[in-house]
Amino acid sequence: MLLLLPLLLGCGRTIAKKPLVQGGSHLRPEAQAVWARPIEISYHFGEEITVTSETISLLGVHVSGDRAQAAGSVNVLGQSTRGLSANSRYAIGTAVDEQDADGFYIVYVEEERAGLLRRVSRSKVRGYLLSLESHGEVSEERADLNRFGHPPADD
């Protein structure tokens, strides 16, 4: 029994719960958001060009012409690339790459496919090469006007 006595005699402790903040807050915080001033850019149209592509395949196997199925992705305005054939996308991508442009504005597309066993696919696309020009960040005043709906208040 004497052996258990030290275990039964423990230290007592008291917990006091005090609020650290008294009263309500009068702050009206803005909802959390990250605001970054965007960079303004503009497109510059180059001269009008016409680009073409032709592919010949036999029983679905490429025989000659452009390897249009390997066409990459290009920034295109004027028409969605969804409706364009692989030959049109290839012709546009090649022109943009060769001229070191940033995109292409499509004005006119002519596509032709003929044959079953020996298939010939031709595309002719007319449009403008596009180049991007950066004008720097939007001014702080314009960003605040967009953010708050009014010019910033003077301190």
What would the mean pLDDT of 71-99 be, rounded to a whole number? 83
What would the mean pLDDT of 7-15 be, rounded to a whole number? 57
What would the mean pLDDT of 18-42 be, rounded to a whole number? 69
Find how far residue 90's CA is from the centre of its chain: 21
* CA-wise closest residue to 129 among 152, 151, 97, 86: 97
* CA-wise closest residue to 43 among 13, 66, 77: 77
Per-residue model confidence (pLDDT) at position 99: 92
Indicate if the pLDDT at residue 96 is higher than 70.
Answer: yes
Find how far residue 102's CA is from the centre of its chain: 14
The CATH topology of domain 39-136 is Translation Initiation Factor IF3 (3.30.110)
pLDDT band at 146 (very low <50, low <70, confident <90, very high): confident
Per-residue model confidence (pLDDT) at position 123: 92
Kindly list the domain boundaries of the chain, sorted by start residue.
39-136
